[in-house]
C-alpha cells in the first residue's frame, strides 16, 4: 500500500472522453488510481471547456494551475503526493522540475499517449512525399524534448508495443523506464453482443475523429479526394458520415450530400453512431499510438478498413476486424466487399471481439501495473541511481528550464 494516499495528475487539457481517445484513456487511468485506494487530483493550466467531464462526479478534485508561476511550488509541497502523472511530455517539461525540487520522493510517471516525435516525423515525411525512416527521428526536434522527458521520468506508460521497441532500438532507452499499458477495457458481455444491430439493420460508412488531430483531417481529405469516388463508382447510392469534434470551416466545406459525403460534426454519443454503421473507414496516412476510433469500432461490432499505420500495434498476430491496406483502390474494393458480404462482415466482427478480449481487457494489465508502481516506489532511490542519464538531464536540462521559467515569471510581474 502506498504511504501517502494521493496522486496528482497534471493534464495538458481537461479530459473530454467524448471528443478524443485521449480523454477516455485518462478516465481509465483515473479508475486505476482509484482502485489503488488513492485520492486523485487533476490539475491543468488549460481553460475549462464546454465538453470537459465533471471530475467531481468521479470523486476527483479539480485544480487550476498556472504556467511559469511559483504558486505551483507551494501547492505541490502542501499536497506532497505519492505519485505525479504527467499527461504528455509537454507537462513534464513545464512542471517536472518543480515536482522534483519540491517533492523529491514523489514517483514521477509520464503518460506518453503516443510518441509525438514519431507522429510528427511521419507527417513531415508524408508531406515531403518520401518514405519515413527511423533515422528521421534522430533529427526531429521534438524527439530531443520527448526523449529527454522520458529519461527524466521514473516510468513512462506506453500504449503501443511498436513504440516501446522503437524507444529501445533507436534511442537506447532502458526497458526499466517503460511500461506497456494499452487502452484498458471491460469485457464485452454476450448479452451486449446479442443486442447490437445486425448486418441488415446497419447502414452507411462512417469515419470518426477529433479534427484538432492532424492525421484525422488528412484522412478525411484522402477519403473525399481519392477513396470515396472509387467507392461511389461501385456503389452510387453509398453514404459516408464524418463525425468529429472541433471541425474547422475547411472541414465543413467538404459537406456534399449530392455525393453522399456528409460532415456531421461532433457526435454526442459516438458509439451510438458507430454501432449503427456497417463499416468504419480509417485511411490514416501518418500518426502513432493506438487508434481509439478503431478500438471503438471493435467494441461496437463494426468492421473497419484501415491502413498499416492505422492498425499498427493493435491486433498483434490476430486477424484484423476487416482489412488493412495502403492502396487506395484496394481500400475502396475491400470497403465495398465488406459492406455487401454478410458472411465476410460477420467474421470480421468476430475478429474484433477477439482482439478486445485478448489484447485490451483491463484485467490483463491493471494488477501488474499496480504491482510495478509499488515496486518502483519502494526501490525509488536505486531505480534512479540506475538511470544516470535521467539524473544528468534532471540536473542540467532542467536547471536551464528552471531559470527560463523564473525569468518568465519575473517578466510577467512587470506586465
Q: Note whether residue 296 is domain-resident.
A: yes
User: For residue 415, is pLDDT > 70?
Assistant: no
Query: pTM of the predicted model, to two decimals?
Result: 0.92
User: For residue 230, is pLDDT > 70?
Assistant: yes
Q: Note whether residue 39 is domain-resident.
A: yes
Q: Are residues 348 and 397 in the same domain?
A: no
- Boundary (domain end) residue, out of 312, 338, 359: 359
- Boundary (domain end) residue, out of 335, 359, 383: 359
Give the residue among 325, 273, 319 at the shortest CA–CA distance from 299: 273
CATH number of the CATH domain containing 118 = 3.40.50.2000
pLDDT of residue 22: 87
pLDDT in tens, 260-273: 999 998 888 889 99
Q: Are residues 91 and 153 in the same domain?
A: yes
Percent of the chain with pLDDT over 70: 94
Q: Are residues 13 and 121 in the same domain?
A: yes
Q: Are residues 256 and 374 in the same domain?
A: no
Q: Are residues 217 and 273 in the same domain?
A: yes
Give bridge partners of residue 261 from the DSSP assignment. 240, 256
Q: Note whether residue 281 is domain-resident.
A: yes
CA distance 204 to 201: 11
Between 179-183, 219-223, 268-272, the lowest mean confidence (pLDDT) is in 268-272
Q: Note whether residue 137 is domain-resident.
A: yes
Q: Note whether residue 172 is domain-resident.
A: yes
Number of domains in the chain: 2
Give the residue among 93, 97, 114 at the shortest CA–CA distance from 106: 97
Q: Note whether residue 1 is domain-resident.
A: no
Q: Are residues 125 and 221 in the same domain?
A: no
What is the residue range of 274's domain?
Answer: 190-359
pLDDT in tens, 289-347: 999 999 999 999 999 999 999 999 999 999 999 999 999 999 999 999 999 999 999 99
User: For residue 414, is pLDDT > 80?
Assistant: no
Distance in angstroms between the alpha carbons of the first and the last residue of the chain: 47
User: For residue 255, is pLDDT > 60?
Assistant: yes
Q: Are residues 92 and 21 in the same domain?
A: yes
Q: Mean pLDDT throughout 193-207? A: 97
| 374: confidence class by pLDDT, cuts 50, 70, 90 | very high
Number of H helices, E strands in the chain: 19, 13
Q: Are residues 80 and 116 in the same domain?
A: yes
| 353: confidence class by pLDDT, cuts 50, 70, 90 | very high
CA distance 377 to 382: 10
Q: Are residues 132 and 176 in the same domain?
A: yes
pLDDT of residue 272: 93
Q: Mean pLDDT throughout 271-288? A: 96
Q: Are residues 271 and 139 in the same domain?
A: no
CA distance 28 to 131: 35
pLDDT of residue 125: 96
Q: Are residues 22 and 162 in the same domain?
A: yes
pLDDT in tens, 90-119: 999 999 999 999 999 999 999 999 999 999
Q: Note whether residue 130 is domain-resident.
A: yes
Q: Are residues 32 and 64 in the same domain?
A: yes
Q: Mean pLDDT throughout 367-373? A: 97
pLDDT of residue 4: 58
| 392: confidence class by pLDDT, cuts 50, 70, 90 | confident
Amino acid at each position: 500500500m502506498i504511504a501517502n494516499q494521493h496522486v496528482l495528475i497534471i493534464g495538458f487539457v481537461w479530459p473530454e472522453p467524448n471528443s478524443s481517445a485521449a480523454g477516455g484513456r485518462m478516465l481509465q487511468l483515473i479508475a486505476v488510481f482509484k482502485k489503488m485506494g488513492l485520492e486523485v487530483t487533476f490539475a491543468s493550466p488549460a481553460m475549462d471547456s464546454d465538453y470537459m467531464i465533471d471530475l467531481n462526479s468521479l470523486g476527483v478534485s479539480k485544480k487550476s494551475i498556472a504556467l511559469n508561476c511559483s504558486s505551483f511550488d507551494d501547492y505541490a509541497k502542501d499536497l506532497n503526493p505519492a505519485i505525479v502523472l504527467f499527461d504528455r511530455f509537454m507537462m513534464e517539461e513545464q512542471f517536472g522540475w518543480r515536482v522534483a525540487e519540491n517533492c523529491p520522493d514523489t514517483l514521477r510517471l509520464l503518460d506518453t499517449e503516443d510518441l509525438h516525435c514519431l507522429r510528427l516525423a511521419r507527417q513531415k515525411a508524408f508531406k515531403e512525399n518520401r518514405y519515413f525512416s527511423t533515422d528521421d527521428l534522430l533529427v526531429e526536434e521534438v524527439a530531443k524534448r520527448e526523449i529527454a522527458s522520458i529519461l527524466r521520468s521514473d516510468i513512462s506508460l506506453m500504449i503501443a508495443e511498436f513504440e516501446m521497441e522503437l524507444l529501445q532500438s533507436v534511442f537506447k532507452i532502458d526497458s526499466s523506464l517503460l511500461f506497456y499499458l494499452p487502452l484498458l477495457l471491460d469485457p464485452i458481455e454476450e448479452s451486449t453482443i446479442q443486442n447490437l444491430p445486425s448486418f441488415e439493420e446497419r447502414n452507411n460508412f462512417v469515419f470518426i475523429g477529433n479534427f484538432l488531430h492532424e492525421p484525422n483531417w488528412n484522412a478525411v481529405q484522402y477519403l473525399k479526394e481519392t477513396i470515396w469516388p472509387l467507392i461511389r463508382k461501385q456503389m452510387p447510392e453509398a453514404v459516408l458520415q464524418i463525425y468529429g469534434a472541433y471541425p474547422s470551416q475547411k472541414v465543413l466545406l467538404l459537406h456534399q450530400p449530392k455525393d453522399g459525403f456528409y460532415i456531421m460534426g461532433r457526435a454526442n454519443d459516438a458509439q451510438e453512431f458507430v454501432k449503427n454503421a456497417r463499416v468504419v473507414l480509417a485511411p490514416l496516412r501518418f500518426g502513432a499510438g493506438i487508434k481509439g476510433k478503431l478500438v471503438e469500432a471493435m467494441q461496437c461490432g463494426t468492421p473497419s478498413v484501415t491502413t498499416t499505420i492505422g492498425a499498427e500495434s493493435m491486433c498483434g498476430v490476430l486477424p484484423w476486424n476487416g482489412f488493412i491496406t495502403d492502396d487506395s483502390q484496394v481500400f475502396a474494393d475491400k470497403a465495398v466487399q465488406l459492406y455487401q458480404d454478410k458472411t465476410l462482415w460477420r467474421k470480421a466482427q468476430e475478429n474484433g471481439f477477439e482482439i478486445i478480449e485478448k489484447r485490451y481487457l483491463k484485467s490483463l494489465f491493471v494488477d501488474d501495473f499496480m504491482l510495478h508502481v509499488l515496486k518502483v516506489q519502494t526501490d525509488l532511490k536505486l531505480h534512479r541511481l540506475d538511470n544516470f542519464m535521467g539524473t544528468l538531464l534532471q540536473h542540467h536540462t532542467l536547471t536551464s528550464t528552471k531559470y527560463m521559467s523564473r525569468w518568465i515569471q519575473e517578466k510577467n510581474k512587470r506586465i
